[in-house]
Amino acid sequence: MIRKEDALEYHSRGRHGKIEVVATKPCYTQRDLSLAYTPGVADPCREIEQDPLTAALYTARANLVAVISNGTAVLGLGDIGPLAGKPVMEGKGVLFKRFADIDVFDIEVDEKDPDRLADIIKSLEPTFGGINLEDIKAPECFHIEERLKAEMDIPVFHDDQHGTAIISGAALLNACELAGKDLDKVRVVFNGAGASGIACANHYVSLGVKLENIILCDSRGVVYKGREKGMNKYKERFASDTSCRTLAEAFVDADVFCGCSVANTVTQDMVRSMAANPIIFAMANPDPEITYPDAVAARDDLIMATGRSDYPNQVNNVLGFPFIFRGALDVRARAINEDMKVAATRALADLAKEPVPESVAQAYGGEEVSFGRAYIIPKPFDYRVLLWEARAVAKAAMETGVARIQIDLDEYGKRLEASLSRSRAIMRHVITRASERPKRIVFPEGRAPRILYAQRVIRNERIGTPILLGEVDVIEAHAQEHNIDINGVEIINPRSSEWAEEFAQEFYQLRQRKGVTLRDARRLMQTRHYFGLMMVRTGKADGLVAGASMHVPELLRPTFEVFPTPSGSRHVAGMTMVVLKDDILFFADTTVNIDPTAEELADIACSCAREIRSLDITPRVALLSFSNFGSVDHPNTRKVRRAVELIHEREPDLVADGEMQADTAVCPDILEETYSFSRLKERANLLIFPDLQSGNIAYKLIQKLSTAEIVGPLMVGLERPIQLLQVGSYTVRDIVNLAAFTVVEAQGKMQPELFARKDDSPAESPQPAVPN
């Protein structure tokens, strides 16, 4: 329960309110000022005057939506006026930005006359790419939207009408499927003939519900043919030829109830009077027409949705408006038409049938959800809604001729995914490459729930062929417990495998002069990690991902025993991808080498630089210290200085420099003004730390104290594709990401020979360090 004190403190702490305007271009110098304003700003003005469409290129208009209200129907508060409604409009802006990266100006207008309000909104068309009408009372809201849609050449959308209709429409499609009901035969009762009730009824007809099967009720009872009191042209369409006069009478034998009214208007007796497998959408806020506990107590065969997050199937408008506008804006749509709304509804309905990612479940307390009576629409924090809904809306806009531009939908889907985060953009690139030639990836911790979830994603996305190690019956039991399909997945028990003796003999030959007896080798091959590593060594698997139950040092020791001489790179290292809002950085070493020498630092830098190139990113390397280019003479700084010299000798074309302080490495202004001689002319994107503790501390501080996303650490320099999870701090997506890197490495695109030094003398394996 949200307390009043909590809500007021949330809105007042720090910068008051919930939004601010942030400049997207620098304005630090006189030149910046001259470009941002006069005289430089005149040039884009002239271009737009010649071609108005270039406003999308030179201004923020194409991604800017106005949230406009006159405060006459604010939430459940009623006509509280435009100023009192401003917190709601700011909140709407937050949701637009958070869920679809759409910028918003909230505009509160002190005008109740519908035509004058429409005139004001129409005059704002040059400023915005779209208009979201909010909290304007019915029936005026219908007239205002109709006028604006007819007179404006940008999308106009009244969310109070269409948002609820689109989301509940998706729930209707899936509920009817589960209940075995046909849309063209269901009898639907609506309670509430305001903005959302009328819009829901209209939208349900677009989805296939027959007009003659609808009974609409308002505060006076049933809207029937011949009724005179409390009528308007919008209700008139749904006037029924029926003898029913009360809501209770309308409920008898109804298949569906759609509530857009007020709390406590539906009784348990009404629910009991409905047809078999009734569908109830009690969407009044904050309290529904009937509570979920009361409804399920009356009927155990019902499917129910409400507007509340503490009950199953929340009909939340945030599932609609951000993504509908995203799709409309991205094709420069002139309107949001009925086909686009139907496309949004069907996209949501289809998405609800897909397996739910672990990251979504974690956002809701870790609950496992799957398509069924308690899950008929996606969760609001399901990131996939953007990918499904915006794409469907854009497609419908192009097909119906309201889009100004045509886009490639496959490329658009990739761009949407990239917009979720920079790390998703990089990983989509890696996953695409992995899916070109999938490889066999062995998972020693085959019964771990997250490994089981991940193998499903890996197979669905055709990243690779997972092989699970462990006892077959135990893995199958865990999969069944978590409702995970493992049909067709290869499961190998090392204790009973015919390969165990073969592996033991080979490992004994490999380690017999390192104190390992044949008996030791046979014992070790009974363990899943040694067995998995030997599968990779002997070519029975192409790569390995492990770490669900063991710390990195525990995993590195058997790895170095099975692959004792890393090929092409003298030292194995851990490289962490740090994804910032406007850039991607790589940190190394964050996992393996405690106090590397100058030679080892050079090896690590060159190996990581080549790995970065494999991601189609040009490496710019900074070797870090507490000194800038000899400003401090100390053994620690001389070590880093020597590493830079070795890098320049080995790879003269690699942009690398140091020693330098961290701020110098990431601030081009410092380099340009003070160290113009440096090979680095831009911000470094590969930061080589002088020792393990500084690298490990740095990335974990950034991870916890900023909004940066972390991918990895990725193991660099191993002979074969081996990636290790950070025990206790990994997700299903982490496993999938590492599997994709492993597959690409196994394909040869990130093979060790790419990291080859000019001398290939053998080296001792490093001693693993690092705790997680």
Q: How far apart are CA 153 and CA 548, in angstroms?
A: 54
Is residue 417 within 8 A of residue 361, CB to CB? The reply is no
Q: How far apart are CA 685 and CA 2, in angstroms?
A: 43
In this structure, what token pair is assigned to residue 612?
A: 């970065």
Q: How far apart are CA 146 and CA 340, in angstroms?
A: 17
Type of residue found at 749: K
- CA geometry: angle 717, 744, 765, nearest 5 deg: 15
Is residue 744 within 8 A of residue 542, CB to CB? The reply is no
Is residue 128 within 8 A of residue 103, CB to CB? The reply is no
Q: How far apart are CA 370 and CA 302, in angstroms?
A: 17
Radius of gyration for the chain, computed over Cα atoms and rounded to the nearest angstrom: 31
CA 574 to chain centre: 26
CB 366: neighbour CB atoms within 10 A? 8
Starting at the edge strand found earlier in the chain, the sheet holding 490-492 runs: 490-492, 464-469, 439-443, 543-546, 722-724
Is residue 547 within 8 A of residue 446, CB to CB? The reply is no
The verdict on whether 37 is a catalytic residue reads yes
Question: Which position has the token pair 């503490």?
Answer: 310
* Burial profile 269-289: b = 16 or more Cβ within 10 angstroms, e = fewer: ebbebbbebbbbbbbbeeebb
Tell how many helices (H) and how many strands (E) occur in the chain: 32, 21
- Among candidate residues 18, 28, 37, 700, the one labeled active-site is 37
In this structure, what token pair is assigned to residue 129?
A: 């790419």
DSSP state string for 102-158? -EEEEEE-----HHHHHHHHHTTTTT-SEEEE-S--TTHHHHHHHHHHHH-SS-EEE
DSSP state string for 469-529? ES-HHHHHHHHHHTT---TT-EEE-TTT-TTHHHHHHHHHHHHGGGT--HHHHHHHTTSHH
Q: Name the nearest CA neighbour of 463 among 719, 728, 718, 721.
A: 721
The verdict on whether 311 is a catalytic residue reads no
Q: How far apart are CA 611 and CA 613, in angstroms?
A: 5
Q: Name the nearest CA neighbour of 440 among 742, 37, 181, 135.
A: 742
* Residues 90/91/97/98 CA torsion (nearest 10 deg): 160
Is residue 592 within 8 A of residue 575, CB to CB? The reply is no
Question: Which position has the token pair 């004994």?
Answer: 508
In this structure, what token pair is assigned to residue 423?
A: 């790390």
Q: How far apart are CA 37 and CA 42, in angstroms?
A: 8
Cβ neighbours of residue 121 closer than 8 Å, sequence gap 6 or more: 66, 68, 109, 131, 133, 144, 148
Helix (H, G, I), strand (E, B) or coil at 180: coil
- Among candidate residues 92, 341, 395, 639, the one labeled active-site is 92
Q: How many CA atoms are closer than 13 Å to the CA of 401, on its beta-carbon side?
A: 0
Residue 459 to residues 162, 178, 273, 532, 618: CA-CA distances in angstroms?
37, 27, 47, 19, 31
How many residues does this entry show for the chain? Answer: 772
SS3 content of the chain, % helix, strand, coil (to 5): 45, 15, 40
Q: Where does residue 741 rank: exposed (0-12), middle (13-18), buried (19+ CB within 10 A)?
A: buried
In this structure, what token pair is assigned to residue 205?
A: 């007809």
Q: Active-site residues: which are they?
A: 37, 92
